[in-house]
């Protein structure tokens, strides 16, 4: 966690944020509580840690995730938990990905959505709250399948939700 928070403070310094060296607090959901005026996200996997931070005046939320490629066994074990029926297979076909890679991508995208939106709605929601699809051009879209209300925000986050994701897939 220390490496993650060092990454977060480095991202805040790069943004020119005041109090970038202040300790980050951890909320009840184990997510970092960003200093006033900032939004951000952290992620890690074996040997890799990263953070993304933005001014709250520019973005309402940020969500990033990094994952090691799932094994085929893990992909099949988790598929019903993380995806709508046929979601992983359809994404795999559209993008020409192996099943395990498509499942990893669906998981990672939905984890990014959760990290982005959870601070705004301040309540848990599951993987089925979003659907990942790829169009014929290979562009991936994420659509919320349920409204997510927030007591703090008068608007409801509804489908379609405008999310920007940058994906890095490493071939092994």
Residue 1's pLDDT is what?
66
CB atoms within 10 A of CB 13: 12
Residue 26's pLDDT is what?
85
Coil, strand, or helix at residue 104? helix
Residue 82's pLDDT is what?
94
Do the Cβ atoms of 74 and 98 come closer than 8 Å? Answer: no
Residue 163's pLDDT is what?
40
Residue 166's pLDDT is what?
37
Residue 104's pLDDT is what?
94
φ/ψ bin of 72: left (φ > 0), alpha (ψ from -120 to 50), beta (otherwise): alpha
Positions of E strands within 65-147: 130-134, 140-144
Residue 28's pLDDT is what?
75
Average pLDDT by consecutive 10-residue portion of the chain (172 residues)? 78 79 79 87 85 86 90 94 95 93 93 87 86 83 75 41 37 33
């Amino acid at each position: 966690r220390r490496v993650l928070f060092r990454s977060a403070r480095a991202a805040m310094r790069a943004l020119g944020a005041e109090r970038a060296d202040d300790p980050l607090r951890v909320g009840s959901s184990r997510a970092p509580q960003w200093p006033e005026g900032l939004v951000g996200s952290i992620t890690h996997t074996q040997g890799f840690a990263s953070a993304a931070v933005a001014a709250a005046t520019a973005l309402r939320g940020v969500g990033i995730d990094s994952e090691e490629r799932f094994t085929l066994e893990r992909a099949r074990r988790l598929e019903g938990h993380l995806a709508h029926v046929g979601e992983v297979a359809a994404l795999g076909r559209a993008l020409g990905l192996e099943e395990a890679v498509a499942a990893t991508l669906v998981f990672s995208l939905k984890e990014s959505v959760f990290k982005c939106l959870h601070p705004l709605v301040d309540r848990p929601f599951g993987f089925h709250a979003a659907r990942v699809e790829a169009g014929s051009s290979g562009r991936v879209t994420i659509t919320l399948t349920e409204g997510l209300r927030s007591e703090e925000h008068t608007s409801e986050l509804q489908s379609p939700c405008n999310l920007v994701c940058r994906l890095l897939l490493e071939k092994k």
